[in-house]
């Protein structure tokens, strides 16, 4: 390791006295991490994403979900390795800074910020849209406040409080999943939809199949797995080792894929014609009515509304940790690293995400969120996979036996799949995503005076 990289490593791992004062409170256990990840991924996210997923993939939602799993599992392994090497807040940003260099770390963090900015907006918008289906007399601006204000307060109070809420919300989410699946099976056996519990058309329909549509659908399905990287963003809040954090991320990815896939499969069989939804944003509401009448629709929608806030809370929490990590290193404004004196939470980062989340959810259509939310995540994933190759395969020279696969083949496959999905994304999503990266690049140019000086982190400067 070079002298410069050693200095950066010391900063990221947090060895200097100044950094120790800016550490998050370690309160999360392994169980809490897995629950946090599943809450973020959300086993009933299939219900809120189903409309966009099935219309975009032209009825091949289940295939899109499992392509998304393949795309993410290699990247999940990469996050697991880097979480063990760099057990600090910041996740993608910290890993790329540690293994590559501060400038590339900034670009990686800036890219993943797009995901963390947009994802809570999407969840708030979807949850509010479903709530308005039940309470049409309430305006959107008020419904959004009902969601955002309490979730922001929970995040202010810290992860110990949020972890208790997450357990309750996870139970509610699982109840919603199992109730829907049970009712859907009963409905199918009584002639609803295709009338078959086992029907290959729920997986593949040659009449509507399109490779381009499937890839576009997979880019939405990837949204269902983004929670696994959020776990690694919480590394500094965890009492367990980085290796355990990584394993929790992988476990979350696999468990959630099964729960999401089952729902998408049965929803597809209940309502095969994806072109006839009255409103694609709330298509699952129509599926639930077809399967179990207004009673099932009300129950699943109510649970989706209640637990949607918890999913957004998890997104806001992990996003605030990325902002905190970048603010602590002074690559973003330093005030973002300010901690609450009692709860030790990044208050200004949380507040910024809540304000931006409210404005964005109020003004931006759901369809646009679907097109841009995955871009930042995929670019960030590329950097993490590259970080594994550089750190373990090149720098540490761990290349023999199983290390050849885990340190080179697996991250390379993760990069290839992410690039393939990026290329298959809608032009609007790619355009907005590239514009976001350009803004970050310009900011970096200003910060480094046109790359005439290194993007030095505060603690590195102090140690010189």
Cβ–Cβ under 8 Å, residues 100 and 295? no
What domains are defined for the chain? 27-463 (1.20.1740.10)
Please report the pLDDT score of residue 191 as a whole number. Answer: 92
Instruction: Report residue 70's pLDDT band, with 50, 70 and 90 as the boundaries.
Output: confident
Confidence band, pLDDT 50/70/90 cuts, at residue 324? confident
Q: What is the mean pLDDT of residues 392-399?
A: 94
CA distance 264 to 7: 48
- Per mean pLDDT, which range of 38-52, 110-124, 207-221, 419-433 is the poorest? 38-52
Q: Encode 388-420: b = buried (16+ Cβ within 10 Å), e = exposed.
A: bbbbbbeeeebeeeeeeebbbebbbbbbebbee
Residue-wise pLDDT tens digits, 72-110: 888 888 988 888 888 776 678 888 999 998 899 999 989
Taking CA atoms, 241 is separated from 220, 246, 376, 393, in Å, by 32, 9, 27, 22
Helix (H, G, I), strand (E, B) or coil at 357: helix
pLDDT at 16: 38
More confident residue, 210 or 424: 210
Give me 307's structure tokens. 């637990």
**What are the residues whose beta carbons fall under 8 Å from the beta carbon of 420, sequence distance 6 or more?**
215
CA-based angle 373:153:107, to the nearest 5? 35
């Amino acid at each position: 390791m070079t002298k410069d990289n050693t200095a950066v490593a010391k900063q990221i791992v947090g060895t200097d006295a100044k950094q120790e004062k800016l550490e998050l409170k370690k309160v999360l256990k392994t169980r809490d991490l897995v629950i946090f990840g599943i809450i973020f991924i959300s086993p009933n996210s299939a219900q809120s994403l189903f409309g966009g997923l099935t219309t975009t993939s032209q009825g091949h939602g289940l295939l899109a979900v499992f392509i998304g799993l393949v795309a993410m599992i290699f990247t999940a392994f990469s996050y697991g390795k880097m979480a063990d090497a760099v057990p600090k807040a910041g996740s993608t940003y910290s890993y790329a800074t540690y293994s590559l260099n501060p400038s590339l770390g900034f670009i990686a963090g800036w890219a993943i910020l797009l995901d963390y900015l947009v994802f809570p907006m999407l969840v708030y918008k979807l949850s509010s849209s479903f709530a308005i289906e039940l309470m049409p007399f309430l305006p959107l601006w008020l419904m959004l406040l009902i969601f955002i204000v309490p979730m922001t307060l929970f995040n202010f109070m810290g992860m110990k409080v949020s972890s208790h809420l997450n357990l309750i919300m996870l139970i509610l989410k699982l109840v919603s999943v199992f109730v829907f699946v049970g009712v859907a099976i009963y409905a199918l056996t009584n002639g609803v939809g295709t009338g078959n519990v086992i029907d290959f058309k729920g997986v593949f329909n040659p009449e509507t199949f399109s490779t381009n549509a499937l890839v576009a659908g997979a880019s939405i399905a990837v949204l269902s797995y983004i929670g696994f990287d959020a776990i690694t963003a919480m590394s500094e809040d965890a009492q367990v080792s980085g290796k355990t954090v990584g394993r929790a991320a992988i476990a979350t990815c696999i468990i959630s894929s099964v729960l999401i896939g089952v729902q998408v499969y049965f929803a597809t069989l209940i309502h095969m014609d994806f072109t006839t939804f009255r409103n694609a944003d709330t298509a699952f509401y129509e599926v639930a009515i077809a399967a179990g009448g207004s009673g099932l629709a009300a129950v699943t929608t109510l649970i989706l509304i209640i637990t949607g806030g918890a999913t957004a809370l998890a997104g806001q929490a992990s996003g605030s940790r990325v902002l905190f990590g970048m603010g602590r290193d002074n690559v973003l404004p330093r005030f973002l690293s300010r901690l609450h004196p009692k709860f030790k939470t990044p208050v200004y980062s949380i507040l910024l995400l809540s304000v931006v989340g409210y404005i964005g959810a109020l003004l931006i259509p759901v369809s646009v969120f679907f097109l841009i939310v995955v871009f930042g995540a995929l670019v960030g994933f590329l950097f993490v996979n590259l970080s594994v190759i550089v750190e373990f395969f090149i720098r540490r020279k761990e290349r023999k036996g199983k290390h050849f696969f885990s340190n080179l083949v697996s991250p390379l496959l993760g990069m290839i799949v992410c690039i393939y999905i990026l290329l298959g994304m809608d032009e609007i999503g790619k355009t907005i995503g590239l514009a976001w990266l350009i803004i970050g690049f310009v900011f970096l140019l200003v910060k480094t005076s046109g790359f005439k000086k290194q993007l030095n982190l505060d603690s590195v400067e102090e140690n010189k």
